[in-house]
Structure 1
């Protein structure tokens, strides 16, 4: 309901879906009607684990479905642009985030936490984008077929892959002393995943999809696609990386294999966007408590970190776009899309809280940044994209998307 309401006000449905969790969780309902909140959302860990499990499936499938839409022909032509935007969008917010962490008051750093590790963790949080939020926002705004939408998607994934790598290193620093072997193993893991996907994964997935289409039709194809996405997520999780990264790789394998017509995957996209994705965003909101921002020192620190996060990511992506000869409106759209941190940053904050790198106050600050930057993205994207002309390639992509929608109507 809140997703539809957000759409009526010209915003992507993800804004309303995330707000559902905020309204029903500790941010509002726990304080306004604690008895009702305890009845509606019991605090037993096992019940929350059930919600988290469904939400995890939702985010894996959402990112996987997004990976299916990646246009590799565009990427080959714009590889230099992707590299420039991703590099600028990483280094500037990372550096600003580390500097901010070194300058924040000591009262905001948990007792026993090392300030350098805290600063590095904050820098990693600032340089990440939110693939699930970006994917849902681009889909809701019908921008996934636009060239800028594709660039946002892939540069965001490059930044996230580097961010998860940095997170694993910082987490190792928080737990034990940092060794060169930790960095080497993490880098080699990423390279091994990409290499295995390109050499072994792609032909294997192509064969599996073709066999599934011949024997089971659309149902068989959807089954194989879901299995590939979840299995890739499980593999990267087992290797110490984030499952979201693996799910995206799995989606790319399905989409680039050429094994089946895109229309056969429409039922999967329908159920993911209509059910799993909204449930995931709402569940993420249930973990957030924004009432800690009532303390002046926390609020001031939050405003500083928010400013640094927005300026760093916007400026990095914007400058990367301009140096790649994009128009200023295209560069502005890149900055707006990559600035959305969303629930990925909330996940990062939860990791920091568990490791003792973040305290309750700094956890709240990072969550606030995640929510506000996600709310900023849609209106700025809409404003900028109105001034970017359609290309023939985008029109063809849009026609293919409309054909898929027509097939979905026939499937229903």
Structure 2
């Protein structure tokens, strides 16, 4: 395929993905789910589960390996920008000592207990679902990590859609989810290192690199952002030159975290946290970056993993019982322990259950882990399908659990009023809440 033909097919694929995401995102809101869940489902429907099954020839042309390679670059770019916006929107006024302590405790229990249960499931089904030549230690680390992960980007999107990013529940959930995912990706680096070279050095290098990256952002990059912010506040406008510099820093941050073994999403998020909290600067950035990211780039990310997912394998009843056991262990390990931890921190049972339900969401991060496991031969195709189902079920359950926990009268709008932040803006809307 020459460059011109590739361009035409990529554009056609993007049009299909964007339209499908909009349709599914709109339809799913009628059953009380956030749009983001519909976008995730749209990707699965575009893959071999439906579209590829009904029109295999058209699917192979529209989503060829060459096209997927281009989509991979675009979707990761969009996700990095989106998480930069999420980090930028978090209100530091809610970062009280008590919240940080609670997030720390929640991160420890919300990672350790699911990891142990995942390790138990790996021991239980080692002979059934492991890849060829993979040792049980590697398999235990992998499945423990798959259980411990939280859908950080998807959780952020759900909270943003429901105007909960800067509420007490939203901040605690995001802080805890970010820490849990950093730990999980470090564990995953150990798994891939062991699967490839039988070495633990991959995880050690990733951990050291993450600490160094945070220090660089805090001491070297933030002063540059402060200067840009000062000029923007003075002129009441973010110049194209300054926007270009921010975007360059964003891309370098994504590149750095990806290079050290963490997913590029964390580079964007950490850079967003370093943005000075000045209203004009934040509003200018959000206005210039928000819409095109949400409407065009981000759906590519939600679709990409779905294109590599085939749920038709569940026609095989031989994996039904292990699937139910793994789902039960994963939900009890994440939702159960997070709920108990938050309750022990002094929250009500309703708030504890709501946070537990949000953190139980695995989303596309689980799909990424599943694809990595399949890529390196750590897991079988059957376990890959089970992990995909885990991602869908836990994500679909996030908002129903939240709404049931908080009560019908405590739907998003009223929760926002009850837990009113110092300042809250839905990704750049020109208002103070």
In the alignment, which of 303, 321, 333 is matched to residue 342 of structure 2?
Answer: 321
> Which moved further from structure 2: 374-383 or 122-131?
374-383
Structure 1 CA distance for aligned equivalents of residues 69 and 51 of structure 2: 20
1:277-292 alignment, distance < 5 Å: 277-292=298-313
Tell me, yes or no, if the aligned pair for 1:61 and 1:272 is still in contact at 8 Å: yes
Bigger mean CA offset, 359-368 vs 293-302: 293-302
Q: CA deviation at 1:259?
A: 8.5
Alignment of 1:282-321 (within 5 A): 282-321=303-342
Does the 8 Å contact 1:129/1:338 carry over to 2?
Answer: yes
After the TM superposition, which residues 126-145 of structure 1 pair with which residues of structure 2 at under 5 Å, given as runs?
126-145=147-166
Q: In the alignment, is the contact (CA less than 8 A) between 1:206 and 1:258 conserved in 2?
A: no
RMSD between superposed Cα atoms in Å? 2.5
Counterpart check, 1:81 vs 2:102: yes
- Corresponding residue number in structure 2 for 1:20: 42
Residues 235/213 of structure 1: CA separation in 2 closer, same or farther (3 Å cut):
farther
CA distance in 2, matches of 1:321, 1:61: 31
2:37 is equivalent to residue 47 of structure 1? no
How far apart are 1:382 and its partner, in Å?
Answer: 2.3
Distance 1:6 1:46 in 2: 31
CA 1:115–1:75 in 2, change beyond 3 Å: closer, same or farther?
same
Conserved? CA contact 2:82–2:293, under 8 Å:
yes
Q: Return closer, same or farther for 1:377/1:224 CA change in 2, 3 Å cut-off.
A: farther
Q: Deviations over 1:375-402 (max 9, x none)?
A: 110111222344767587943546x427
Are residues 1:107 and 2:107 paired?
Answer: no
Task: Find the partner of 1:242 among 263, 278, 287.
Answer: 263
Which of 340, 362, 370 is equivalent to 2:383?
362
Quote the offset at 1:37 in angstroms: 2.7
Partner of 1:62: 82
1:2 aligns with 2:27: no
| 2: CA distance, partners of 1:20 / 1:324 | 38
Task: Work out whether residues 257 and 266 of structure 2, in 8 Å CA contact, stay in contact via their aligned partners in 1.
Answer: yes
Distance 1:139 1:27 in 2: 29
User: Which deviates further from its counterpart, 307-316 or 105-114?
Assistant: 105-114
Match of 2:215 in 1: 195
> Residues 70-115 of structure 1: CA distance to partner in whole angstroms, max 9, x if unpaired?
2333223311111111111011100000111011151321221112
**Whole-angstrom distance in 1 between the partners of 2:352 and 2:296:** 33
Say how many residue pairs are matched.
403
8 Å CA contact 2:148, 2:180 repeated in 1: yes
In structure 2, what is the Cα distance between the partners aligned to 1:219 and 1:3?
Answer: 34
Equivalence for 1:156:
177
Please give the TM-score of this superposition, normalised by the length of structure 2: 0.86
| Distance (Å, rounded) in 1 between the aligned partners of 2:427 and 2:54 | 47
1:395 maps to which residue?
Answer: 420
Runs of at least 5 residues in structure 2 that lack an aligned partner in the other structure? 1-22
Higher mean C-alpha deviation, range 203-212 or range 383-392: 383-392
8 Å CA contact 2:160–2:426 kept in 1: the answer is no
Match of 1:92 in 2: 113
Q: Which ranges in structure 1 are unaligned for 5 or more consecutive residues? A: none
CA contact (8 A) 2:40 2:306 kept: yes
Identify the match of residue 116 of structure 1 among 133, 137, 140. 137
| Other structure's SS at 1:113 match | coil
Deviations 1:143-163 (A, max 9, x none): 213210111111000101111
